Each structure stands twice: as structure tokens, then as C-alpha cells.
Amino acid sequence: MHYLHTMVRVKDLDEALNFYVNILGLQEVSRRDDDKGKYTNVFLKAPGDDVQMSIRKAPLLELTYNWPASAGGEPEASASWRTGGRNFGHLAYAVDNIYEYCASLIEKGIIINRPPRDGRMAFIRSPDGISIELLQIGDALPAEEPWKSMPNTGAW
């Protein structure tokens, strides 16, 4: 047995891809439109993960976009998947330097909900409200400003 992927539903595929690819730095591996099921799946990988599609996939993030009623999809009023977390906690990614990575996210307009005060862990949220944990690779970095004094913002 091996781990395949985590699926999260997104309301706006372009907005989600902008966040996960252009801001977070993930890379698109594959995409599939399902005309019968009226949805699109986009699979993303972290830059450091090796994906050999013909043999075995590294853990992937699957974005699922359910088409709107105007494109033959489910009417908004019946889209029950949009509410509730189905006991989902968060996604987690390891980064080389948590301070530099968080600073680059702020420059791109992302709110750091739980700053890396400890030099080890931070949390942000996707446009769809998915909590994303960022962890320092290896030992925690020494605590430093402005992170050390930065308060939490919103929920994480």
C-alpha cells in the first residue's frame, strides 16, 4: 500500500490554481475534465516530490472543481459539499526556510494566520478556507523578529 493523494473541492478553479501554483509554488502534474460527471480534477505536486506517473505517484493534492449548473453541473442550492469539513484538518508542506517562505507569501498578499514565532511552524488558508500548515525542514530556526512578536490573525 502507498499514499496517493488528498482531494479538496474548490469553488473557483482559476483562483485555486493561482493560489496553489503561483503563490504556494506547487506544480501541475495532470488535469482531467469529466464531461459525464461534470467536474474537473487537477493534480498538483510539491516541487521537491518526484512523480513517476507510469510507475507510482508521489503524494499529490487533487483539486476537484464541480462545474456550475450553467455548465450542466449541480445547482448551487444542492451543492452540500461546500459546507462542513468532513473531519478534514489541514494540508502540510515542508519548506527550506520558513521565515523566507512566509515573507514571500506576505509579499504576494497572503495572510499568515499563525506566524512562525517558534521558527518551525506557520499556518495560512487557501481561497476556499483550507488550512495549510508550513513546517521548517530540520530543526527550528532561531526565533527572530518580526515573527517572534507577530500575533495570530483569524482562524488557522
SS3 63: strand
133 catalytic? Reply is yes
Q: What is the pLDDT of residue 52?
A: 67
Q: Where in the chain is the domain with CATH 3.10.180.10?
A: 5-70, 91-149
> Domain 5-70 carries which CATH code?
3.10.180.10
Return the C-alpha torsion angle 137, 139, 145, 150, nearest 10.
70
Give 10-residue mean pLDDT values along the chain (156 residues). 78 96 95 90 90 68 86 57 58 94 97 96 94 93 96 89
Q: Which of 14, 1, 3 is nearest to 40 (CA)?
A: 14
Separation CA 9–CA 31 (nearest Å)? 14
Residue 6 cell numbers, joined = 488528498
Q: What is the pLDDT of residue 86?
A: 46
Separation CA 45–CA 62 (nearest Å)? 9
Q: What is the pLDDT of residue 50?
A: 77
Q: What is the pLDDT of residue 146?
A: 95
Q: What is the pLDDT of residue 153?
A: 94
* Annotated catalytic residue, options 28, 133, 144, 145: 133
> Domain 91-149 carries which CATH code?
3.10.180.10
pTM confidence score: 0.78
